[in-house]
Amino acid sequence: MGVNIKASHIIKPSEPTWEGVSSLSDWDQIGVTTHILTIYFYKPSKEWLESSNLIFDTLKGAMSCALLVVSGGYIGQGRLELLCNGSGVELIEAESNFGDFSCTSQFKDLVPDVDYDKPIDELPLMYAQVTVFCCGGISLGVTVSHIVADGRSALHFMKEWARLARGEPIEMAPYIDYTLLKAQDSPRVQIAPGVDLIPPVPLVIGKENSLEERKKPTMVSIPPLTKEQDAEKVHPYSRYEVVAAHVWRSACKARGHQDEQPTGLGFSIDIRGLMNPPLPSKYFGNAILDVCGTRFGEIKTQPLRCTCGKMGEAIEKANDEYVWANSQCFKTLPDFTPFQDLHSRKKESGPLSGPFYGNPNIGVISWLNLPIYGLDFGWGKEIHMGPGTHDSDGDVLVLPGPLDDGSLTIALCLQVAHTDDFKKYFYENISCKNQISS
């Protein structure tokens, strides 16, 4: 693409901040070492080519104010903690000779690269990169550590950063109190014998691990769904459950699973409203419960509502007691290790990311209820927003269409060998609402 890094700036809080060590919650301990990657594109402007410094100055000034909440890194031996020291975050200036950025889906060079070979205490809490194109357009690529924030928290920070850049006050400060999700020394909820809260993620029949599947080449496709193609009502299931089940079924067909092949559908549930009492809506941290429904390859020929039922079962039983029981159950797993130990177990490619939702599984994450659009730093709203990188087999992201017209965008990564067949099956059975609900 031809991206040139011009400069890199460490942006520190505009005023002295509290310094000390903050213990992260139990849910931050059982998360992943990856970062949440997002990218925003803004329409071309000749003024930006002539005064690009104004863009960076605006973002730097607003960032220094936004960092008054927290800035630092990770520390800890067995248990991960947050060292608040006002060390700031890195903002990168870049330029590209690529003229029409709307024609490319190769966003890798537009999002800061995180080196996961470094010790975990050297990983950044956040990176940001602003790239100016020769056409006058700009992109903003952002990485936020998933150790300290889930998607809702990361987007909350982005929204407040944009407000400050526009010269407006913060609308709502993040609620930071990690003790709300820190279990006591003795479990609040006892796990009944034989209860399998966290079922193992299925493997390809005959395989002892997923290493071979992880190494296979993948590619990203973004099949759109218009409102007319989308089945919003397959009683009693939600729109997201229906679409996720359809993606799961289509993937099983594309992969050629036999009826006896076990397969899993992983997805996340926001627990803020499930706790008793509920967490504050602006709770900053990880407040999601990863669950996995399992079935067999026979879902290829079964009615979609049967597949939806597996998701419905997991959602229905998710409450305060179930959340705490899962927290305790994670710690009893034979392969659960603290972050530092987990990070030291190098994977063949990329950061360690927990269970493998590639073949024969699928992981479908919903951004349907997140405020992902309308990020205005003072030069208008973005013309495109999406995940920065998305290259792990089985990773699926469901986003609302950017025009608020009822359409959906499915950002999906599968092995190259299965991608074309997936597209065929995906649209083959979704051409009308009657077909998807069958």
Q: How far is CA 384 from the centre of its chain?
A: 17
348 vs 8: CA distance, rounded Å? 29
Say what angle helices 151-165 and 52-66 make with each other, to 10 degrees: 120
367 vs 18: CA distance, rounded Å? 33
Q: How far is CA 171 from the centre of its chain?
A: 24
50 vs 187: CA distance, rounded Å? 60
CA angle 36, 40, 46 (to 5 degrees): 155
Closest CA to 251 of 420, 26, 25: 420
Decide the pairing of beta strands 395-400 and 408-415. antiparallel
Q: Are 91 and 60 in contact (CB under 8 A)?
A: yes
Give strand pairing partners of 363: 266, 395
Closest CA to 181 of 283, 32, 315: 283
Residue with tokens 């870049």: 94
Q: Are 126 and 143 in contact (CB under 8 A)?
A: yes
Distances, alpha carbon 354 to alpha carbons 127, 199, 204, 345, in Å = 22, 14, 17, 12
Closest CA to 63 of 150, 175, 163: 163
191 vs 45: CA distance, rounded Å? 59
37 vs 90: CA distance, rounded Å? 15
Distances, alpha carbon 147 to alpha carbons 35, 231, 236, 295, 359, in Å = 8, 35, 35, 30, 26
Rg of the chain taking only CA atoms, in angstroms: 22
Backbone angles phi, psi at 53, to 5 degrees: -60, -30
What is the residue type of 64? Answer: S
Report the catalytic residues.
Answer: 146, 376
